[in-house]
Structure 1
Amino acid sequence: MSSSTTSPSPVVHQVSASRGRVRPAYTLMCPENLVENALPHLTGVVAKPLATPRALPARFGEYLLEFEDGGHSTRPLGAGFENFLYVLEGHLVVTAGTDTSYPLEPGGYVFLPEGTEFGVRSAGESRALWVKRRYDRVDGVAAPEPVAGHVDEVTHHPDDTIGGTYAPLLPDDERYDMAMNFMRFDVGARFRMVEVHHQEHGLYMLAGEGVYYLGDDHVEVSAGDFVYMAPYCPQSFYATGSARPSYLLYKDINRDGF
């Protein structure tokens, strides 16, 4: 099965009937919690906000976009932000500027630095994640460059600490102030430590299921769930179920937090 699949595990063992919750250190949003919204300059597109600075301490935005066949932007998007799009289902064409286009299939992604606006159009019904944030400039550090690729074409690094692999979708150098990582876990894997760090996270479950330790809680997560983790939220993951879980993870990096 392709690593870009978004299908849930064949068997999901959830005890809780309603899992969505908001806590000071984290927020869990499940498919049944998401409310349809419209965003300016998108037609034939339902937007479901997952994280914004409106109520959370988040310094980024993340949206689940659901496109009708032919759904598209009517004006350039993303002004004033750096933008990352990842296709979950269907096919999108992202255009940047006047002469650059990125055809994206499931597992395909594109990062556009601040100052590059974009358009988007779907071919058939499609679903995608859109992450945006304001670039954190540092004197003497060059601006990042556009990046496009597919999750199956990047290196998946083994990591015994998490019991699985991670695949960085963006370069790990100081020009980039954000990371987007594809994380996949062995069945039964668990973190060997409880992480506490100053970065925040936006986590979208792509496949499988597990139990996340967040703050003082243990919460069940499965495909289609979104978790926001605030800075310094204690966190660890235990993979459950009969299939390997995976998720797409946003993190702010390479900056000192001021």
Structure 2
Amino acid sequence: MTTTDPYTYWAPTGGHPPQTKLLTDRAIVTEAYTVIPRGVMRDIVTSNLPEWTGTRSWVLSKPVAGGAVTFSQTILEVAPGGGSEKPEPQVEVEGFIFLMAGALEITHEGQAHTLTPGGYGFLPAGSTWSVKSTGAEAARFHWVRKRYQPVAGLDPEAKFGQESDVEPAAMPGTDNRWRTTRPLDPNNLAYDMHVNIVTFEPGAVIPFAETHEMEHGLYVLEGKAVYRLNGDWVEVQEGDFISMRAFCPQACYAGGPGRFRYLLYKDVNRQVEL
């Protein structure tokens, strides 16, 4: 049996903890993975972006020595009316936006697309687009960026949609208790990145230590679980972020009481560059 409740999307709002709060937290940086718990996404660690107005950001992942190097992942909080006429400063970089709160209008190559929570947009490298927060509250969304690796004869298309309109695919032998929603066609080799939504019902597991070339940015949208990362058990909840470098052994146990869902970046479909 699977949960049929409406999807929820946890998004940070900042703030500052009181002096009475213990400073002990779950944040950790290792050579194999990084965990950024939601409790450290505060006002003091936000950054402004010169291409954007009415905007602040939490940078969750960027290429650093000893860490993941294929992508950046940032949560943006854009006040009503704020946005950018030219958000992407690098013509060779593609992007994926996933909205958690508010409303967002993306105009891509002259065509407007309105996103509500659970909405997404894939923006190919070199395309022309702008973005504006159009709701009564701030728009809060993920922006995943990656330098596109071109292949002759393959050209990825822009894609816009809503999570609820994409049929999840069940993992084999799981009775639909572990399933993946794939906004981008996994069989289309033009895409060299995927950003999927993975759902586990209580008690579902990844029953082996995945160890592979793909890097991950994992943001928990809903629920809690324990993740096995390079031999360590790490407890995570909605709003937490995990960055995994290539070949970090990984597994998961969703203990409940509700379902566990996360947004997952991975680099795919390309030959290893030497």
TM-score (norm 2): 0.86
Correspondence for 2:165? 153
1:197-222 residue CA offsets vs partner (Å, 9 max, x unmatched): 01111111000000000112111111
User: Does 49-58 or 190-199 show the bigger shift?
Assistant: 49-58
Pairwise CA distance, 1:2: 2.1
With CA pairs under 8 Å and 6+ residues apart, which has the higher RCO, 1 or 2? 1
- Which of 241, 253, 257 aligns to 2:268? It is 253
Correspondence for 2:49? 39
Is there any run of 5+ residues in structure 1 with no aligned partner, and where? Answer: 9-15
Question: Is the contact made by 1:161 and 1:193 (CA closer than 8 Å) also made in structure 2?
Answer: no
Percent sequence identity over aligned pairs: 36
Correspondence for 1:83? 95
Correspondence for 1:111? 122
**Backbone CA RMSD of aligned residues:** 1.9
User: Is 1:6 matched up with 2:19?
Assistant: no
Note closer, same or farther for the CA distance 1:7–1:164 as it changes in structure 2 (3 Å cut): farther
Question: Is the contact made by 1:63 and 1:130 (CA closer than 8 Å) also made in structure 2?
Answer: yes
3-state SS in 1 of match to 2:207: coil
User: Is 1:213 matched up with 2:228?
Assistant: yes
User: Is 1:167 matched up with 2:181?
Assistant: yes
Correspondence for 2:17? none
Q: Distance in 2 between matches of 1:193 and 1:22?
A: 23
3-state SS in 2 of match to 1:152: helix
How many residue pairs align between the two structures?
Answer: 249
Question: Is the contact made by 1:43 and 1:74 (CA closer than 8 Å) also made in structure 2?
Answer: no
1:153-232 matched pairs, under 5 angstroms: 153-160=165-172, 163-172=177-186, 173-232=188-247
Correspondence for 2:259? 244
Pairwise CA distance, 1:54: 3.6
Pairwise CA distance, 1:74: 4.6
TM-score (norm 1): 0.91
3-state SS in 1 of match to 2:213: coil
Pairwise CA distance, 1:17: 4.9
Correspondence for 1:138? 151
